Amino acid sequence: MSITLYELQPTRSARARWTLLELGVRYESVAGREVFASSELSAIHPLSKLPALRDAGRPLFESAAICTWLADSHPEAGLIAPSGTWARALHDQWVAFTLSEIEAFLWHTARNLFVLPEEDRVPAVYPQNEAAARRGLAVLDAHLRGREWLVEDRFSVTDIFVGYAVWWANRQGIIANLSSLIEYVERLQARPFCPFEQNV
């Protein structure tokens, strides 16, 4: 097997798994919390974080890099626009926007909810992070009015990447009143390979 994915659901690993499934690419999965302590993972990711990937022995980390590489290396699937096209620039735009204007705030809250030791947590950041994430989410909501998908109105790896952050925000209850995003999450979850759990 030339591709090995190191993963733990339902973390950002879901993006890489979904991309592989959409591409129809065979891969080996190394999964579970014990992966964090493995020498295999630390040899790929300098901070031993997931997801991480080996493709033909070559190491790669960060879900944006992994998903983009996988889509680029299987162009026949049409999951990403070719480099040098305007649609590819839009992919890069929405990935960067999601990381900086939405996911950074969701992750900051998560770190203070359950990642950091209790004595280091700062609950006062929760409202600030939610307000900042909602500003970014409102931009996506406006863009999706009258559209089903983010780039060229066709499903792509951009939707896998951005969709994870929107689903995460939905799980946190912060896309209420953003009807385009609520419908977007429903479209994502209707796709056969979508790994995003239904809200409970």
Task: Write the CA distances from 174 to 4, 37, 130, integer angstroms.
Answer: 34, 33, 7
The Cβ of residue 176 has, within 10 Å, a number of other Cβ atoms equal to 10
pLDDT value of position 1:
61
In the chain, the amino acid numbered 106 is L
Report the pLDDT value the prediction gives residue 197, as an integer from 0 to 100: 78
- How far, in Å, CA of 164 to CA of 40, rounded? 26
Question: What per-residue confidence (pLDDT) applies to 200?
Answer: 40
Answer for the pair 145, 180: CB distance below 8 angstroms, yes or no: yes
State residue 196's pLDDT score.
87
Q: Where are the domains of the chain?
A: 3-77, 86-190
Residue in the block written with tokens 């031993």: 48
Q: Angle of helix 179-190 relative to helix 157-171, nearest 10 degrees?
A: 120
pTM for the model? 0.95
Per-10-residue mean pLDDT, the chain, length 200:
90 96 97 95 97 97 98 97 98 98 97 93 96 98 98 98 97 95 97 80
Residue 10: the pLDDT is 78
The domain 3-77 is placed in CATH, from the list 3.20.20.140, 3.30.310.160, 3.40.30.10, 1.10.3720.10, at 3.40.30.10
The CATH code belonging to domain 86-190 is: 1.20.1050.10
Secondary structure class of 31 (helix, strand, coil)? strand
Which token pair is 110?
């998560």
